[in-house]
Homo-oligomer: A and B are copies of this chain.
Amino acid sequence: MSTAILKASPIHFGPFPVTTQVFHLTRYSYALVNLKPILPGHVLISPRRVVPRVADLTPTETSDLFLTVRRVARMVERVYGASSLNIAIQDGVDAGQSVPHVHAHVIPRRARDLEARGGVDAVYELLEGEEGDLNRILEGRVEKGEEGEGENGERRRKFPKVDDEDRHPRSLEEMEAEARFLMGEMAKEKEE
């Protein structure tokens, strides 16, 4: 996959352009590095078509999305030295979805990796925080004039519980560097 291909078909995550943060592209799906990863290697997999719900996907898109989840998950588990993975989809607002575009979280896990932050299941509370942050920060970017429409901040208050002080949104440069690195690592994976 070349940068030229990506430039020819810009990728959106909901209303937000994310082309340079994409590290893997299939006919129907893409994989994206994260603004505020919960743990190293925490990435997102989305369908290229911007639809809010899993039920909106065609069977072909559904198969492709989860085959992509499986391949990307295997890669991040290897690259980040993990032993397990959390795979989670918040499918709809009442399940905690922030950006209205289907996205599967893939989070590499290691033994005791969240011991200091609340234990093995703290990943989910952090995930809720990350969903809120993602939306807030992406909206902040919109407010600075990239595209889309701003929000009045109401939506931010939906995820009040988590504010992990160790986590800061990463710079675009940092995300792009990781995307280039992971693109190379995907190329090492076997096809199936």
Chain A interface residues (CB < 8 Å from chain B): 54-55, 57-59, 62-63, 65-67, 69-70, 73-74, 77, 82-97, 107, 109-111, 113, 119-121, 123-125, 127-128, 158-159, 161, 192
CB-CB nearest in chain B for A131:
B121
- Which residues on the B side are within 8 Å of A96 (C-beta)? 86, 120-121, 123
Q: List 11 A-B contacts (CB under 8 A).
A: A59-B67, A84-B91, A84-B97, A85-B89, A88-B88, A94-B110, A96-B120, A119-B161, A121-B125, A124-B124, A124-B125
Q: With the chains together, A93 CA to B93 CA distance in Å?
A: 29
Task: Kindly list 11 other residue pairs between chains A and B, CB separation below 8 angstroms, not including A62-B63, A85-B92.
Answer: A54-B87, A62-B70, A84-B93, A86-B88, A86-B96, A94-B110, A94-B111, A95-B107, A95-B109, A95-B123, A124-B125
Q: With the chains together, A119 CA to B132 CA distance in Å?
A: 14
